[in-house]
A and B are shown apart, each in its own frame.
Chain A
Amino acid sequence: MSKKTLTFLLMDAPFEQARVTTAFRLIEDALEKGHDVNVFTYEGGVSLSFTEQKPHPNAVHGRSVVEEEHPLPKDWIAFIQEKAKEKGCNFNWINCGLCLDERGVNDAIVGCERGGPADFLVWAKNSTSTLVIGTK
């Protein structure tokens, strides 16, 4: 399959909806297939890249922090960034700036930039396909 540019818009906050996991599965698959991927986050989605996410132990299961290996979306993004480099794919991530401000989650991991809906529109115009994954 030839390389395409695919754009995703994510709206759900971390740890709230299965749509976040499914979105990451799609992004992983797109990069695995060699496509370039853009991700624009809106509303709760802007928290996905927040640097201050911290793992925790799990007393119910008797697991320490190390044993629990609690997933953090910011780490998923970082691993996906690495994968994109290895595959020679462009992987761009923009968080809606106003959404960052109102949630106080401006500290995003490296490679996740601040922007706005106009950036999303440029991407959509230049992508083969754009999938909006809205909050329900």
Chain B
Amino acid sequence: MKALQIIQSAYRCTVEEQDDPVVWFAQVLQNNGGEIDILLKGNAVNYVIAGQDSSGLKFGKWQQNQPAKLDLDLTDCLKNGLGIYIISEDAQDRGIPTDKIIAGIKTVSRKELPALFEEYEQVWHW
């Protein structure tokens, strides 16, 4: 069953979870036999930027030792066979520099979304 995961909400709980929960969920689905791709839209297009760094947080004696590494997580997704798309207009609107985007990301314009959706049995908008 091919299912497209549309992720729009970004950095909502990535410090507390040390992951994006939907990217994580997609990886588990893939590992369990799903045919999963991801479409990043809105602020979530920023997930493809190399070099994101949320390390160094401390609260009293607590220190975060496993901060989220969203760019590396997406690279792992790509290695595991998940396709990852970003909406080109959302990236442009946010001034995302193309030379900072991790390798392997596909861009799709909003006008191309109907055709993209038709490639999937299920489209889940998170």
Contact = CB atoms under 8 A, between A and B. Distances in A.
Q: CB–CB under 8 A between A and B in the complex?
A: yes
B34 to A, nearest CB: 5
Interface residues of A, number: 16
B3 interface: yes
Interface string B9-50: 100110000000110010011001110000000000000000
Contacts, number: 39
A135 interface: yes
Contact of A125 (B1, B9, B125, B126): B1
A67 to B, nearest CB: 37
B3 A42 contact: no
B126 A132 contact: yes
Given A130-B122, A134-B126, A136-B9, A117 B25 contact: yes
B124 interface: yes
Interface size classification for chain B: 10 to 19
A121 interface: yes
Contact of A124 (B1, B8, B21, B22): B1
Contact of A121 (B9, B12, B22, B32): B32
A121 B29 contact: yes
A40 B105 CA distance: 30
Interface of A: 9, 11, 42-43, 116-118, 120-121, 124-125, 130, 132, 134-136
Nearest to A131: B124
Contacts of A130: 122, 124
B9 A134 contact: yes
A16 B35 CA distance: 32
Contacts of A116: 28
A20 B34 CA distance: 27
